Structure 1
């Protein structure tokens, strides 16, 4: 196994084994976040206390913040060599999504290892990175390794329900914990995908789609079902929902998309012209749906509500939309949706978190590349736009540029993103060891 550098005769075995053991320990703590306060237990706080204990064991001070019972986060700052540089926030969330309604062959909180795979809720989303960060912090403390700049280690609650009681609360109420931070590193990226015959690409999320909700409301005259009306609210709402469902927003070539297309186009000999873009992306295998989802804004009808009795025409019908918006597209999306439906359909905008966009030429990406070069020579770090949202959206409010990079070298046919929220969520044990080594390089040199 390669050492981190000539200055350290690194006990890699301890670092790697701790990353695996700590990830398993965290998986065994049931920290399910249902999104409904009445059904959430104290799992996040128990996980946070475990993290705090592991840090304290090697002399690292941390602060546990619990804005609501059971919803705790832990923050620790490791001083760097150059205290004048902006700090790097390294974050992982401790909550996981529910497992009910899924058919698991392995106990979701058992952290079982079978045939070289670790199974359990959180194996990739994202107790693997929490375990790796914790292992690296302990390793730095034992070996007296000082990072190049301050590291703010954040183990967070509530990401799976929007981060209201985790990163969002901390940004609003305890911004002092992130004082001086300029960049952040968390999910979703860093996993390998096939690049060409033998080499791999490691995707770095430099941008994330924003998340928004909207409610459409149609109103009409109530009446008996036997006497149809011209202004039936259900019919008018159905037309609006159908129009939105059939609509394709235009492709937007964001900086992250352009960077991805440039690298993959160069290596794979693909042109990615306006006419060939979607077909060329289809040639990229398992990475295709992930990148394709970031080409355009989307608005998806998800909930319909109208009436309560079959023989009564309701006076009102509503539809809820899940909206994913590209950087700088908030107002364009609103206008485009407004134009799709009749003027008498009311649109109420609800929760709205705008997209994040970090520079694709940050020196941090060069650090990621060097770390990957050391662990997987010849591979390439490639920016992309994450079509989902992470806690980086909250840190962006403090002017912190967020990146998604959890380094995992995986078998070429393994879809890491497909494991998120899936039954029998799993990760190769060897990938966790790779994650620990590569993360140690990154956090030392960033």
Structure 2
């Protein structure tokens, strides 16, 4: 039941859906006292799907943290189910830094502007537009599908995906694969050739607290055993260190495949040259070449003339699949004997297969809309709700298709100022998503 180009449905309502959703401020600060809008956005999803005849389930993990689940029966109920998921929350935005109201849902200059435009209310709008089309047209996928609109992704999913997996795993019975963010966006090689990276893995998210101890005392005295000094030295060593490049299977497939497309051998190119060749995509790929540990916080002292007995710092660590033990060895060496560490958060890295039927379906759907398209796997430096769904045994992929202008710095838009998505890219993505889901 895949549509041909001449009979592709009109998905123009996706623009209004995305714009309207952006106007619902779903800022997730991580502090329950300042959370806004997730319940309102969930109720909006219920409204726009109920008005075309869907039955929905709305669940709250705690007050105002709501997610919505929609079950779509497949024509062949014997097939394994697919989970399609998108999150409703967004990171904060400081209005004074933007050229438009970050929660205005402004449509201008060929873009939809606002917080969440690419992370990830664009995909949520595409999911809704496809669902509404199916109900109106009577189209139906072969596979049973679960569509999930979830809270709290931007603060680890504790009150969203992870809560649902822990408390309501029955919602995902039969789901063997999941599709969400971040992948399927285009990288322009030349006018006729576009590469669409598919997210097939994620580095682990590991937040670390490090602590130095020393002798307390008066600030006017000479102190050789100073906790602040020890901590500062350790933080400086970590910040200055460049971890070695790790050639994962995913990285080898990506670099080798891109080299074939560009008719050049990129596997022997210096990694910094490779990153430069990739332009905006280089920022995304560059962060996946090695383990990273970035200092993000310092806490010490309570009075200017008192030497404290302890000093602490936080490190945002992102670890390549299979590198956990090696990373801990490396970080211990950097911290030295005077600094202890403990994990605040530590999830697992993910890496799954690229050469599988579901990716072939993504590739085919893209090619129907862009004859010059090519797909390659990539490892994501950040984390998504895929970490939660993988706990139920699902193979997880990032596929939120967008054909982007070649000069758009897409990576900078995630959590950035003046976040925006091209209208044409959103329409393209909805057509591709529709083709992909109906082809499974």
TM-score by length of 1: 0.95
Q: Displacement of 1:266 after TM fit?
A: 1.0
- The match for 1:22 is 17
Q: Is the 8 A contact 2:319 2:327 kept in 1?
A: yes
Q: Which residues of 2 match residues 28-43 of structure 1 at below 5 A?
A: 28-41=23-36, 43=37
Unaligned runs of 5+ in 1: none
Whole-angstrom distance in 1 between the partners of 2:365 and 2:96? 37
Which of 71, 82, 96 matches 1:88? 82
Partner SS for 2:18: helix
Deviation at 1:246, TM superposition (A): 1.7
Matched positions, count: 440
Q: Secondary structure at the match of 1:361?
A: coil
Correspondence list, 1:153-172, <5 A: 153-172=147-166
- In the aligned structure 2, how far is the partner of 1:309 from the partner of 1:71? 39
Q: Give the Å deviation of 1:418.
A: 1.5
Deviates further, 97-106 or 211-220: 97-106
> CA shift at 1:130, angstroms?
0.5
Any conservation in 2 of the 1:123–1:425 contact (CA below 8 Å)?
A: yes
Contact 1:64 1:74 (C-alpha < 8 Å) held by counterparts: yes
- Which of 364, 384, 389 is matched with 1:370 structurally? 364
1:230 Cα deviation from its structure 2 partner: 2.0
CA distance in 1, matches of 2:219, 2:312: 19
Residue 384 of structure 1 pairs with residue 382 of structure 2 = no
1:127 Cα deviation after fit: 0.7
- Cα distance in 2 for partners of 1:236, 1:101 equals 39
CA distance in 1, matches of 2:134, 2:117: 24
1:397 corresponds to which residue?
391
Deviation, 1:180, is 1.1
SS for the counterpart of 2:221 is coil
The structure-2 alpha-carbon separation of the partners of 1:277 and 1:422, relative to structure 1 and needing over 3 Å to count, comes to: closer
Kept after mapping to 2: 8 A contact 1:157/1:163 = yes
> How far apart, in 1, do the equivalents of 2:284 and 2:67 lie?
30
1:195/1:264 contact within 8 Å kept: no
**For the Cα contact (< 8 Å) 1:93–1:159, is it kept in 2?**
yes
SS of the residue corresponding to residue 350 of structure 1 reads: strand
Point out where structure 2 has 5 or more consecutive residues left out of the alignment. Answer: none
- Shifted more, 339-348 versus 397-406: the winner is 339-348
- For residues 310 and 302 of structure 1, what CA distance do their matches in structure 2 show? 22
1:196 aligns with 2:198: no
Q: What displacement does 1:118 show?
A: 1.1
RMSD over aligned Cα, in angstroms?
Answer: 1.7
Shift in CA distance, 9/295, structure 1 to aligned 2, threshold 3 Å: closer
Which structure 1 residue ranges, 4+ long, deviate > 6 Å from structure 2? none
SS at match of 2:97: coil
Q: Is the 8 A contact 2:95 2:102 kept in 1?
A: no
Select 2:9's aligned residue among 1, 12, 15: 12
Q: 1:155 deviation in Å?
A: 0.3
1:286, distance to aligned residue in structure 2 (A): 1.5
TM-score, normalised relative to structure 2: 0.96
**The residue matched to 1:257 in structure 2 has which SS?**
helix
* Structure 1 position 98 matched with structure 2 position 92: yes
Deviation at 1:287, TM superposition (A): 1.1
Given candidates 128, 137, 143, the residue that maps to 2:137 is 143
1:214 — aligned with what? 208
Tell whether 2:48 aligns with 1:50: no
Q: Which moved more, 1:303-312 or 1:100-109?
A: 100-109
* Partner residue, 2:102: 108
1:276-303: CA deviation from partner (whole Å, max 9, x where unpaired): 2332332122111210110011111111
- Is residue 2:234 matched to residue 1:240? yes
Distance 1:56 1:151 in 2: 17
- 1:417 deviates by 2.3
Provide the secondary structure at the position in 2 that maps to 1:250: coil
- Distance in 1 between the 2:249 and 2:48 partners? 40
- Give the deviation of 1:4 after TM superposition: 4.5
Structure 1 distance, partners of 2:243, 2:365, is 38
Q: 2:62 aligns with which of 63, 68, 79?
A: 68
Report Cα offsets for 1:196-245 as digits up to 9, x if no partner. Answer: 35311111111111111111111111112222222111111122112211
Query: Does structure 2 conserve the Cα–Cα contact (< 8 Å) formed by 1:196 and 1:268?
Result: no
1:160, distance to aligned residue in structure 2 (A): 0.8
Give me the whole-angstrom Cα distance separating, in 2, the residues matched to 1:339 and 1:61.
55
1:186 aligns with 2:168: no
Aligned mates of 2:252, 2:94 — CA distance in 1: 39
In the alignment, is residue 440 of structure 1 matched against residue 420 of structure 2?
A: no
CA contact (8 A) 1:299 1:322 kept: yes
